[in-house]
Amino acid sequence: MYKSRDMIRFVYILQLVNWQYYVGSTNDITRRLLDHKTWHTTTTKRIPVQQILFQRGYTTKQKARKIEMFLKKQKSRMVIEKFMTNEWKDL
């Protein structure tokens, strides 16, 4: 069993039915994706998830949150797509 300080933190990207991207982070990817698919989050309650496009694990919460916030702040489809295709391996 992992201790909380050893847990992997995930950054994930969803495609919504209106073709927008949703960027998030979590320490429990399975639970979080289920929350999105069952409309237990504010954004995906209004605009349902079409598919899961991307997920990547990080060793620290700080690193995952930094990447999540960077991607959200950019508000750029191009930046998100470059990130998903590994053109930016690390931010």
For residues 26-39, average pLDDT:
88
* pLDDT at residue 3, rounded to an integer: 47
* pLDDT at residue 82, rounded to an integer: 92
Q: pTM surpassing 0.75?
A: yes
For residues 23-27, average pLDDT:
94
- Look at the alpha carbons of 86, 27, 62, 17 in this order and tell me if their dihedral is positive or negative: positive
Whether 13 and 22 have beta carbons less than 8 Å apart is answered as: yes
Place 2 in a pLDDT band, splitting at 50, 70 and 90.
very low
Calculate ∠ Cα 2-44-65, nearest 5°.
40
Phi, psi of 51 (to 5 degrees): -160, 160
Whether 48 and 57 have beta carbons less than 8 Å apart is answered as: no
**Stretch among 1-5, 33-37, 56-60, 81-85 having the lowest mean pLDDT:** 1-5
